[in-house]
Amino acid sequence: MKLVIDIGNTLVKAAVFEQNTMMELEKFAKEELEKKLLNFFKNFPNIKDLVVSSVGNSDLLDNLPRQIRVHYLSNDWKFPFSNHYSTPKTLGADRMVLASGAVLQFPKQNRLIIDAGTCITYDFVDSSDCYQGGGISPGLGLRLKALHNYTAKLPLVALDNPEDFVGNSTKESILSGVVQGVVHEIDGFILEYQNRFPNIITIFTGGDAVFLAKRLKNTIFANSNFLLESLNQTFQYKITND
Strands (DSSP E) found in the chain: 2-7, 11-18, 21-29, 49-54, 69-72, 82-83, 110-116, 119-125, 130-138, 200-205, 221-222
- Superfamily name and number for 82-232: ATPase, nucleotide binding domain (3.30.420.40)
Range 80-108 average pLDDT: 93
Task: Convert the pLDDT of each residue in 155-202 to its tens digit.
Answer: 999 999 999 999 999 999 999 999 999 999 999 999 999 999 989 999
- Which DSSP letter does residue 187 get? H
pLDDT at residue 112 above 60?
yes
Residue type, 55: V
Answer whether CATH 3.30.420.40 is correct for domain 2-72: yes
Does 82-232 match 2-72 at the fold level? Answer: yes
Rounded CA gap, 209 and 183, in Å?
A: 11
For the chain, domain boundaries: 2-72, 82-232
- Catalytic site residues? 94
pLDDT at residue 57 above 70?
no
